[in-house]
Amino acid sequence: MDLRYSESEEAFRAELRRWLAEVVPTLGPKPPNTDWPARRAYDTTWQRMLYDAGYAGIDWPVEGGGRGASPVEQLIYLEELERAHAPYVGVNFVGLLHAGPTVIVEGTPEQRARFLPPILRGDEVWCQGFSEPGAGSDLASLRTRAVRDGDEYVVTGQKIWTSHAEVADFCELLVRTGPEDSRHHGITWLILPMDRPGIDFRPLRTIARSTEFGELFLDGVRVPVANRVGEENDGWRVTMTTLSFERGTAFVSEALQSMELLRGLRQVARHNGAWSDPELRRRAGHLGAELDALWALARRNVSQAARTGVPGVGGSVYKLALSELRQRLAELGMDVAGPAGLSWDDIEEFAVPGGVTNPEIVHSWVHSFSRTIAAGTSQIQRNIIAERILGLPKG
């Protein structure tokens, strides 16, 4: 194994670094967390800039319209974006990181031609309509029904926790096409255009003061059969592809973001005296070591996905470790912040060059609670690891 970067990889890094140094300072300030239309505009503008510069869909195969970068280049790309404090993927999360990749693997040539380029250009935003009030961890019990009527499905039911639906153009939607008790065998994966009559979206406000998700009510919504990905009643298999992207590679950049957050917290702690506490230093050291291990795991997942086309079940190990680590990191942040952690407003005296701000620490903390729930709870990841990786008997 040669762990050095090749000349062409170094050239890729240098060119990307140059481009980022040029464009990132030209971006305006990030919109407030609570203003979703502004966040859509910000995130899709950034996506368009990546597209124009040839960096959109870095991990997508060339046939899918992406750059088809090698695993090493993908990791360099993520490292450089984080180093430059470039914008996060944001509202493009579902489209770029799991719906688009699912269409690449499972879609027809027509679907790939119709749906992939607008995701890459930042023209169209996607959301995910999997969970229902009675179907979260036990997703196979979902009840939203689709009945075929000529060349359309008529969809009726309710989804919940649908992230970014407020600003989405399409939704990757799971529906029941088989009998009520058909579980995994009666599910179909559809592409729902969000502008159809019969759709009612009601936002839900989180403790982070944001309406990042909500309830999606569907009443006789007509979806073309041409928008079905995979065969009717074969949607569970397609769903496994979606979830393996969501858990395996979608959160890879978060390991780097966590390292950046830890670095910023150290800066603040050294400045405000929190660093004199040996216990706090010990926790920071542990988190740093865990993050190094997590980044190694992320690199493994990226290489595996590049080799096989779809990330493996090992993504559950990464997802579990990352979510729980983010919660401990957020708690460390609140201990570093001290009384400043009680305020959402910027406290001027708290600011340290290279450090994180107190609202960033508070946001990271309130948001951390959802991490062990979103994209499959920690208990579910543990079940998957036990049964599918360790081969233990079903509980």
Ligand X SMILES: Cc1cc2nc3c(=O)[nH]c(=O)nc-3n(C[C@H](O)[C@H](O)[C@H](O)COP(=O)(O)OP(=O)(O)OC[C@H]3O[C@@H](n4cnc5c(N)ncnc54)[C@H](O)[C@@H]3O)c2cc1C
- E strand intervals along 91-196: 126-129, 145-149, 152-159, 170-176, 187-193
**Separation of alpha carbons 211 and 157, rounded Å:** 21
Task: Please report which residue ranges of the chain form alpha helices under DSSP H.
Answer: 7-23, 36-52, 71-83, 93-94, 100-106, 109-121, 235-248, 252-272, 278-308, 315-337, 358-368, 378-384
Q: How far apart are CA 132 and CA 143, in angstroms?
A: 8
CB of 370 to ligand X, least distance (A): 4
In angstroms, give the least distance from the CB of 129 to ligand X: 6
Quote the least distance from Cβ 318 to ligand X, whole Å: 17
The interface region with ligand X, picked from 125-133, 186-194, 228-236, 330-338 by CB under 6 A, is 125-133
Task: Choose, by CB under 6 A, the member of 8, 45, 137, 276 that binds ligand X.
Answer: 137
Catalytic residue of the set 73, 166, 246, 290: 246
Q: How many CB atoms lie within 10 A of CB 392?
A: 11
How many chain residues interact with ligand X (CB under 6 A)?
Answer: 19
Contact map string, positions 6 to 25, toward ligand X, x by CB under 6 A: --------------------
For ligand X, the binding residue among 143, 383, 386, 387 (CB under 6 A) is 383
Amino acid (1-letter code) at residue 198 = G
Tokens of 11: 């050239």
Residue 308 is a binding residue for ligand X (CB under 6 A): no
Q: Is 211 in the site for ligand X (CB under 6 A)?
A: no
Q: In this chain, which of 118, 136, 203, 312 binds ligand X, going by CB under 6 A?
A: 136
User: Which CB sits closer to ligand X, 275 or 369?
Assistant: 369
**CA–CA separation, 392 vs 64, rounded Å?**
38
| 117-125, 127-135, 292-300, 346-354 -> range binding ligand X (CB under 6 A) | 127-135
Q: What Å distances lie between residue 134 and 158, 189, 242, 288, CA to CA?
A: 10, 18, 21, 39
Complex with ligand X: residue 115 or 295, whichever CB lies closer:
115
Is 311 near ligand X (CB under 6 A)? Answer: no
Instruction: Tally the residues of the chain.
Output: 395
The bridge status of strand 152-159 relative to strand 213-224 is: antiparallel
Smaller CB distance to ligand X: residue 20 or 380? 380
> Comparing C-alpha atoms, which of 46, 75, 43 is closest to residue 58?
75
Minimum CB distance to ligand X smaller for 138 or for 231: 138
Contact 223, 192 (CB under 8 A): yes
Window of 101-109, 224-232, 341-349, 374-382 that interacts with ligand X by CB under 6 A = 374-382
Token pair of 305 as six digits: 């996905």
H-helix or E-strand spanning residue 213: strand 213-224
Shortest Cβ contact with ligand X: which residue? 136
Taking the complex as a whole, the smallest distance from the CB of residue 1 to ligand X amounts, in Å, to 37
Tell which positions 145-174 bind ligand X, by CB under 6 A. Answer: 161-163
Quote the least distance from Cβ 134 to ligand X, whole Å: 8
Q: Is 131 in the site for ligand X (CB under 6 A)?
A: yes
CB of 303 to ligand X, least distance (A): 27
Q: Report the candidate in 84, 30, 27, 89 with the shortest Cα–Cα distance to residue 58.
A: 89
Residue 380 as a binder of ligand X (CB under 6 A): the answer is: yes
Tokens 């969000």 sit at which residue?
194
| Residue 106 known to be catalytic | no
Q: How far is the CB of 142 from ligand X (least distance, A)?
A: 9
Q: Count Cβ atoms below 10 Å from residue 68 Cβ, excluding itself.
A: 16
Dihedral sign for Cα 118, 121, 125, 131, please: positive
The 3-state DSSP class for residue 130 equals coil
CB of 127 to ligand X, least distance (A): 6
- Please identify which residue in 6, 226, 379, 389 interacts with ligand X, judged by CB under 6 A: 379
The only residue of 92, 128, 242, 249 in contact with ligand X, by rule CB under 6 A = 128
CA nearest neighbour of 72 among 8, 133, 119: 8
Residues 225-254 that bind ligand X (CB under 6 A): none
Give the residues lining the site for ligand X (CB under 6 A).
127-131, 136-137, 161-163, 213, 370, 373-374, 376-377, 379-380, 383
The catalytic site residues sit at 246
